[in-house]
Amino acid sequence: MGLPLTTVLPICILGNMAPILPILLLLRNESLKKLMSPILKRAEAKTSELGIGSLQRQWASLAAFVGIPLPGTGAWTGAMGAFLLGMPTVVALSAIFSGVVAAGGIVSAITLAGKKGGIAALAALFVLTSIEFLKGDKKQDFLEADPYWDQSEVPVNVYKNKAPFTGKVVSTKRIVGPKATGETCHIVIDHNGDFPYWEGQSWGVIPPGNREKDGKPHSVRLYSIASSRYGDDMTGKTGSLCVRRATYWCPELKADDPAKKGICSNFLCDTEPGAEVQMTGPAGKVMLMPEEDPATDYIMVATGTGIAPYRGFIRRLFVEETPAAAAYKGQAWLFLGVANSDALLYDDEWQEVKEKYPEQFRLDYALSREQTNTKGGKMYIQDKVEEYSDEIFTKLENGAHIYFCGLKGMMPGIQDMLKSVAEKKGIEYDEWLKGLKAKKQWHVEVY
């Protein structure tokens, strides 16, 4: 067409960017998401690593992904991947724009100077994104006690019901597949560094509005925090919740009854970036990790969203550059019980840790609708734990700490299992359990 590059380049950049914001907004529509499911799955597979690390790392990774002019790495794919991975919209738009500009610059350099020009432009992109990536690569050691395992100043109930903290939602993402029993969301909340907490603690959430029965404000609901003290972005300014949307199926209506839905869980699962959340806490010390002895074994048993505190544990011990991670020499063993494979929570994270630390991290799932126990019945969490009863008993005898989080229905089966092992060994179970509790090896947070 003979148009000058100074005209073509801006037009190409605007043409690539024009549909991006509408795409990010339209993808919030569930019907459209289902319609685009095959495309979204391909986008998520190509961009699965972009949501890892701090916001600076996410920005640099996405900009580089979009900026390298190769098939399948353009602005549309980047936008869909960023949405699926729960990146903040502003971060995604900024990174995609930078990537589109970079891609245009690389193609222009090839046009003007051939292969050498393209290589030089690629090198410039690599240098710039690497600088941003490395800026987000600081160690997670700036929120530590001295020494790091000292729990004498753990924050507790800093914010109370009458004077709650106001956090802002960064992202809300569904994290279960289409065949999961119900919807579970991962919600990242910005607290600007003003609401510190430790792994194993809970946040209270006060849903907006008033109760119908008496007009009073809704009561606080407690949710275990699903991130380390540094947050998913590792800045120390965010925290995450893992929330299952509570619904009630009415047999007469043959549909969910909106009048009986969970007030707080539905509020949280429906939040969008920027939404304000009234919060209290942090609450509790019973689920904290005893880090003074770095050889301590941790046995973590969860049903459903009871996985939340263990995500904080595992990130602290294996993912982040914390003093606890540098010192840790023990073994962390995670048991998770859910209905089926689509209901598994954070499986990609567990598999990555398992691959990197095969001797220090163990993982066992109980899928009640897909697996059978030794008696031919459904495989519940207590059945899976029972398969390793002798080994678990021995670990506890040797000082391991065991944690239970989730539905209280799992507890009788697990306690019966441990009791039978104790009896076989000639040990009086009640006294043995009392000893575990006295040594603070027994941690329970069930509902």
Residue with tokens 């003007």: 112
Residue with tokens 């494979």: 341
What is the rounded end-to-end Cα distance, in angstroms, of the chain?
A: 69
Distance of alpha carbon 403 from the chain centroid: 19
Determine whether 388 is an active site residue: no
If phi > 0 it is left, if psi is from -120 to 50 it is alpha, else beta; for residue 326 that is alpha
From the list 86, 85, 89, 74, the residue with the least C-alpha distance to 24 is 89
Q: How many CB atoms lie within 10 A of CB 328?
A: 21
Q: Which token pair is 135?
A: 């800026």
d(CA 447, CA 402): 17
CA distances from 428 to 271, 389, 424 (A): 50, 16, 10
DSSP H stretches of helix in 343-428: 347-356, 381-386, 389-397, 410-424
- Which residue among 224, 227, 240, 265 is the active-site one? 224
- Which residue among 242, 264, 269, 405 is the active-site one? 405
**Contact present, 268 and 297 (Cβ < 8 Å):** no
- Which residue among 54, 185, 197, 223 is the active-site one? 223
Determine whether 223 is an active site residue: yes
What letters, b where the CB count within 10 A reaches 16 and e where it falls short, cover 248-273?
Answer: eeeeeeeeeeeeeebebbbbbbebeb
d(CA 440, CA 157): 22
Q: Which token pair is 172?
A: 């809300």
Phi, psi angles (nearest 5°) of residue 444: -130, 130
Containing 84, the helix (H) or strand (E) segment is helix 75-84
Angle at 241 (CA atoms; ends 240, 244), nearest 5 degrees: 150
Determine whether 405 is an active site residue: yes
**Contact present, 68 and 77 (Cβ < 8 Å):** no
Please classify residue 309 by burial: count the beta carbons closer than 10 Å to its beta carbon, then call 0-12 exposed, 13-18 middle and 19+ buried.
Answer: buried
Q: How many CB atoms lie within 10 A of CB 190?
A: 22
Catalytic residues: 223-224, 405, 445, 447
